[in-house]
Amino acid sequence: MSLSDCRVIELPKVTEARGNLTFVEGQRHIPFAIERVYYLYDVPGGSVRGGHAHKGLHQLIVAMSGSFDVLLDDGLKKKRFHLARSYYGLYVCPMVWRELTNFSSGSVCMVLASNLFDESDYYRDYDLFLKDAQL
């Protein structure tokens, strides 16, 4: 898989006077079943999160509140996405390095993942990732 497989997905948005509702159904709105959900919050100004890639994990990254940037890198190309709406999610496929930066005050980043946590699925060394991504 490569950077060209990553994309912003518009999620369903039900709008009414009482407020909006957005929902995500695995394998319907996103191309994987959801096995894990986690979120980042209270990220100090100037901090960078992520800084890794996954061998087999699929993710959807959503700015639930506030905004932040996601820099994706497949070893050949890089692309920056700005997330600022809770009804848009960034689909990130396996073998793509990601860094999350430029968090606004009070931002919350939710991540839907295709698998439970497994440390052996991570590339935390960029040079090793590049070596394996170039195969």
Beta bridge partners of 21: 14
Residue 43 near residue 60 (C-beta atoms within 8 A): no
Catalytic residue flag (residue 52): yes
- Distance separating alpha carbons of residues 85 and 39, to the nearest angstrom: 15
Catalytic residue among 29, 52, 58, 82: 52
- Looking at residue 42, its amino acid is D
- Residue 107 DSSP SS3: coil
- C-alpha dist (Å) from residue 6 to 14, 18, 72, 93, 130: 25, 33, 9, 6, 18
Residue 78 near residue 71 (C-beta atoms within 8 A): yes
Q: Which residues carry out catalysis? A: 52
